[in-house]
Amino acid sequence: MGITATPERVTPPVATAAAAATPPGRMWRALLPIAIAAIIALVPPPDGLAQHAWYFFAIFAGVIVGLMLEPLPGGAVGLIGVAAVAVLAPYVLFAPAELARPGFKPANAALAWALSGFSNGTVWLIFGAFMFALGYEKTGLGKRIALWLVEKMGRRTLTLGYAVTIADTVLAPFTPSNTARSGGTIYPVIRNLPALYDSKPNDPSARRIGSYIMWVAIATTCITSSMFLTALAPNLLAVELVNKTAKVSFTWMEWFVAFAPVGILMLVAIPLVTYWLYPPQVKSGEEVPAWARAELGRMGGVTSRELELAILVLLALGLWIFGGDVINATTVALVVIGLMLAMNVVSWDDIVKNSPAWNTLAWFATLVALADGLNRVGFVKWFADSVAAHLTGFPPFAVMIVLVLVFFFTHYLFASITAHVTALLPVMLAVGSTIPGMNMPQFALLLCLTLGIMGVLTPYATGPSPVYYGSGYLPGKDYWRLGVVFGLIFVAAFLVVTLPWMAVVGGR
């Protein structure tokens, strides 16, 4: 049974036909990324940047434009970009000194680089999230949970948004992988909600409710990832790098106290702000909870396969929360997928036919390689050093704000927060330490607290991003536009609220 809806009310008659297919892409969408890359490559490289690094950046910029315009699926765009770099590796990936090294084989080294993203743990954790979602779908457990949520909170779409926010916030302090938390636990449940309102992926009906719920979920997990030291693995890496580089240390409570005022404010605001800026077409419906109760009655009692999946999900969640020192989060996902196969919760054919999962795997793996290449050729360090050179003589407070903004928005160049931390955090700390009067504890903590919220910027900015982007409810143009808008909101609120608050609590 489907549900049709007016923008304000929901009633449950027969489902309507799907909307017209998306019109074919225009030729300019395919030509513009190539033109952008060619134009950048033809411009002489800036002072201090090697020619091969500039060529690599040109290709990277072309790929990003391609991802925005989507002349082809994201995975295809990323694969073409990686293939182009691998073919042109002697000119775009390796410095002359590397090529001159005895025994160096550029073809083999380029292939190793091109495939490096496929060995990235986060990439496979994202893939695991899709498999968990498949299990929820095959067993019916996801539909059951979704119907229960609709029954309890389905009278208003806004309250569903708050349900998603609460769920992520409760899990966040104990789950240091936001991919596991949001992509592997939250997403497999909420992906069943839109269909209950006849909101379909890759269809104009996605805006009925699916788009709203998916954006609330990814925006929320970005906030909770910044709010708790233990909610994002790169947070822990950042603390270690700050300790080694700047000789400054933070406790869990210091981290939480510094971010809590703006974090709580944003968590309360996100469902409502999204409701205003990216409104669902379905706002409310008194009949929906009754319909959900009837559907639950038709489903009958919980089946053995649902119980098996629930046990496996709880096992994964328990290991993600408490087993981080013993077993890697990605290993947990792979083990649980293996158990799902062994227990026939899903079949191998089900996994093989899950094209969104494989598409996302290829897409994110190629982006990880491309983003790592920016650091490898020295572009990232050159960019940070160039910014620092223009800040000499400015007041330390102004420099601190500029560097935090640079650190935040350069995440457009990264497909991994871990890579961003590793490449840029030590550089930013080193730059800050050269500014007379800089409050280094405050500066270091400000940089670290942005790591979660910067994940809202792009469809590849943090682990769960490709999961929600691949859901079919957040079209590319919407995702990029929302990323800019919410990125600006997040960083503005962060600075406006956190800087005065740090002054109140004693310099941090």
Distances in Å between the alpha carbon of 467 and those of 83, 90, 179, 345? 24, 34, 9, 21
Do 310 and 379 share a domain, yes or no? Answer: no
Residue 167 lies in a domain: yes
Predicted local distance difference test score (pLDDT) of residue 9:
38
Do 225 and 316 share a domain, yes or no? Answer: yes
Residue 46 lies in a domain: yes
Domain membership of residue 449 as a residue range: 360-505
Residue 251 lies in a domain: no
* Beta-carbon count within 10 A of 152 CB: 13
Q: Is residue 13's pLDDT more than 50?
A: no
> Looking at per-residue confidence, does 415 or 35 come out higher?
35
Residue 476 lies in a domain: yes
Do 337 and 370 share a domain, yes or no? Answer: no
Residue 427 lies in a domain: yes
Predicted local distance difference test score (pLDDT) of residue 372:
81
Residues linked to residue 206 through DSSP beta bridges, in sequence order: none
Residue 105 lies in a domain: yes
Query: What is the three-class DSSP state of 500?
Result: helix
Do 390 and 348 share a domain, yes or no? Answer: no
Do 323 and 428 share a domain, yes or no? Answer: no
State the pTM of this model. Answer: 0.72
Tens digit of each residue's pLDDT (9 = 90 or more) over 243-292: 877 888 888 888 999 999 999 999 999 999 999 999 999 887 665 677 77
The most confident of 31-40, 188-197, 278-287, 363-372, by mean pLDDT: 31-40
Tens digit of each residue's pLDDT (9 = 90 or more) over 81-115: 999 999 999 999 999 999 999 989 999 999 999 99
Do 160 and 293 share a domain, yes or no? Answer: yes
Cα dihedral 253→496→277→190 (10° resolution): -10
Residue 15 lies in a domain: no
Average pLDDT, the chain: 85
Would you give the distance in Å from CA 178 to the centre of its chain? 9
What total of structural domains would you count in the chain?
Answer: 3
Do 326 and 346 share a domain, yes or no? Answer: yes
* Tokens of residue 357, six digits: 């999962």
Q: Is residue 494's pLDDT more than 80?
A: yes
Distances in Å between the alpha carbon of 298 and those of 1, 293, 301? 12, 9, 9
Boundary residue ending a domain (93, 116, 139): 116
The pLDDT-based confidence of 64 (bands split at 50, 70, 90) is confident
Judge whether 474 and 215 are in contact, CB under 8 Å.
yes
Do 442 and 305 share a domain, yes or no? Answer: no
Query: What is the three-class DSSP state of 454?
Result: helix
Calpha distance 236→392 (Å, rounded): 31
Q: Is residue 132's pLDDT more than 50?
A: yes
Predicted local distance difference test score (pLDDT) of residue 20:
37
Judge whether 95 and 52 are in contact, CB under 8 Å.
yes
Predicted local distance difference test score (pLDDT) of residue 15:
33
Q: Is residue 18's pLDDT more than 50?
A: no
Calpha distance 111→92 (Å, rounded): 14
Judge whether 141 and 309 are in contact, CB under 8 Å.
yes
Element (H, E) at 4: strand 4-5
Do 45 and 87 share a domain, yes or no? Answer: yes
Do 294 and 150 share a domain, yes or no? Answer: yes
Boundary residue ending a domain (331, 355, 379): 355
> Looking at per-residue confidence, does 165 or 289 come out higher?
165
Boundary residue ending a domain (116, 132, 158): 116
Do 209 and 349 share a domain, yes or no? Answer: yes
Residue 239 lies in a domain: no
Do 489 and 366 share a domain, yes or no? Answer: yes
